[in-house]
A and B are shown apart, each in its own frame.
Chain A
Amino acid sequence: MLRALSTFLYRRPALTLLLLLGPALAWFAVVYLGSLVALLIQSVYTFDDFTMAVTRDLTWANYRALLDAANADIVLRTLGMASAVTLASAVIGFPVAFYMARYATGWQKGFFYVAVMLPMWASYIVKAYSWTVILAKGGVAYWFVERLGLLPALERVLALPWIGGQSLSTSNLGRFLVFTYVWLPFMILPTQAAIERVPQTLLQASADLGARPVQTFRTVLLPLAFPGVVAGSIFTFSLTLGDYIIPQLVGPPGLFVGAMVYTLQGSVGNVPLAAAFTVVPVLIIAAYLIAARRLGAFDAL
């Protein structure tokens, strides 16, 4: 019986393929693309301010509302933070990923994997809250900086516009630190996998042809590992774009896109404007992927 079924499927490879891919494709089409389409449709519905009701009259008003100073501010604030977090994660993550991929062996490799993954085992909410304590005045961070005798330097940094604030826990610097801490593993892991896939002989060939280590890094390793960094940056970038917890707990007042969506669809009930807000990160990521492709980030895949 089973044998007959196997033979039947072996003779019809197209049917086998359909059976294997079908569920995944169906999931993708219904749950993923379906909800995306629903989102796009919702974003052009009309919200009546007086009756607080959503009607199915199509309008661009929601998108126009995004351009209001207050809303554009939210988008730019989120975008700036996501970019800064992504850049910092790439710069901090690459050396770690490089060491993991090229030098760590045996127990070291295990240690690094656990060290990178361990923070992900704890609840995200718990981590976010503990950072508010760590960064607060009188917290561990302040104590440490004071011990190093760097308190005046920290105060000068906090006095700067944009990144500064009353204390670390209410400054953009603090928010940036927490974001980078939370999303760094998502940068390290794909980067590490990409570096590991670059054959050792290519680096040797580069040195053999007279390239100093810095030149080898720039002309061989970085271009070949770049798809991994791009993959990681998509994680760090979109996770920061969509986050709505950390901005409420750490940093100065002022909403992020995620928190705005949460407020709009929750307490206000303005689902169309929330949907329009949600489309922004989708478009930004799409533009980012196209730009990365243009730059040749995926050529070596």
Chain B
Amino acid sequence: MSAAVEFEDVSRHYGAVRAVDGVSFAIEDGEFFSMLGPSGSGKTTCLRLVAGFELPSSGRILLQGRDASRLPPYQRDVNTVFQDYALFPHMSVRENVEYGLRMKGVETARRAREVEAALEMVALSGFGARRPGQLSGGQRQRVALARALVNRPRVLLLDEPLGALDLKLREQMQVELKSLHRRLGITFVYVTHDQGEALSMSDRVAVFDRGRIEQVDTPRNLYTRPRTAFVAGFVGTANVVGGTLARRLTGSERPFSVRPEHIRFAEPGGDLVGVEGTLLDVQYHGAVSRSEVEVEGGALLTVSLPNADGEAPGPRAGQAVRLAWSRQAMVPVVEG
């Protein structure tokens, strides 16, 4: 069984700019695979390379084991949900969804059936006659999904599909996308800059930075075992500690990452290591409170503590505090 999508040392250059720089990875069939990174990190270019809107400057791209590096989009068995949905404004919802089948020459009766089924799948039955301009953002998103899925692609590409939706709708669509993925069993390739979205939805996540992949791993491993300082900082919040403080605590100057929720206001001892510092600020976030602490050597550490009911208020800003965490909480990382 070959991978659904495979990149072999793929680069895409625009003049001197290396948008994608020697990237290799494989996406398994049926996987929910996310490409996560800040804007300009090369994740969207990678998606466009899979779709065929861009051709690689060097390297090979394989779809279902076959070299697709130079194939135009209309010869690839993948479909895309665009960030701005890219619905055809001069066609009705039905005509939009029907478009792919029409281009393939599917006969009219079957086309009508499949379009109805696809609209039903995204809960938009009865909207077929409307124009995209008459729909809300969430509805347009569903039409874009139906238009891609009606072609039964082996791979569905999603380019920040939820970026334009408000928070409530986004959370609802995340659940629906996940359940669609389970039902259809096809490969989803999902581009996002939202690490929460990537962690909660994906089987595996590739973290991009400056045209390269920093790490490809399961969400849990990305969070608990970040390989580089960049991954530690981008996936969740992390305190990356290096220099003399690292040497005193771990015996090596190699930086380590420790998550804010693993730090407590406590005395070191036993399995706990600790530092002294000054509490600069406390921010209330509802479920948790975040404290900024300046520790020896001038580094800033973030501490996240749950807000339990009826608990005595913690230390106040300006106070001297002691921080402690367990040795297992320290994950050595590569300086990014």
Contact = CB atoms under 8 A, between A and B. Distances in A.
Interface of A: 199, 201-202, 204-212, 215, 219-220, 223-224, 296, 299-300
Given A199-B84, A201-B82, A205-B86, 13 more contacts: A202-B88, A205-B88, A207-B53, A207-B72, A208-B74, A209-B99, A210-B100, A211-B74, A211-B99, A211-B103, A215-B103, A223-B90, A296-B90
B79 A208 contact: yes
B84 A201 contact: yes
A204 B78 CA distance: 13
B103 A204 contact: no
19 contacts: A201-B82, A202-B88, A204-B53, A204-B73, A204-B80, A204-B86, A205-B80, A205-B82, A205-B86, A205-B87, A206-B99, A207-B52, A207-B73, A208-B52, A208-B53, A209-B103, A210-B100, A210-B104, A224-B90
Contacts of A212: 74, 103
A208 B104 CA distance: 12
Interface of B: 51-53, 72-74, 78-80, 82, 84, 86-90, 99-100, 103-104, 147-148, 151
B89 to A, nearest CB: 6
Contacts of B99: 206, 209, 211, 219
A209 B151 contact: yes
Most buried by B among A204, A205, A210, A223: A205
A209 B147 CA distance: 8
Contacts of B78: 208
Contacts of A209: 74, 79, 99-100, 103, 147-148, 151
A120 to B, nearest CB: 32
A223 B74 CA distance: 20
Contact of B74 (A199, A207, A296, A300): A207
A210 B74 contact: yes
Contacts of B103: 209-212, 215
Nearest to A216: B74
A160 B298 CA distance: 93
